[in-house]
Homo-oligomer: A and B are copies of this chain.
Amino acid sequence: MTVSDEVGPVLAQYPDGVIPAGCPSRAVLDHVTSKWGLLVLVSLVDGPHRWSELRRRAQGVSEKMLAQTLRTLESDGFVHREAFPVIPPRVEYSLTPLGEGLARHLVPLVEFVADHAEEVVRRRS
Contact = CB atoms under 8 A, between A and B. Distances in A.
A76 B46 contact: no
Given A21-B59, A33-B33, A116-B28, A45 B4 contact: yes
Q: Could you say which interface size class chain A belongs to? A: 35 or more
A44 B38 CA distance: 23
A58 B121 CA distance: 26
Contact of A113 (B7, B29, B57, B114): B29
A65 interface: no
Interface in A68-122: 75-77, 95, 98, 100-121
A58 B29 CA distance: 14
Nearest to A75: B124
A4 B47 contact: yes
Contacts of A28: 113, 116-117, 120-121
14 contacts: A2-B100, A3-B45, A3-B100, A3-B104, A6-B108, A7-B45, A7-B46, A8-B111, A8-B115, A10-B115, A11-B110, A19-B110, A27-B117, A32-B113
A102 B114 CA distance: 11
Given A76-B123, A117-B25, A124-B76, A106 B109 contact: yes
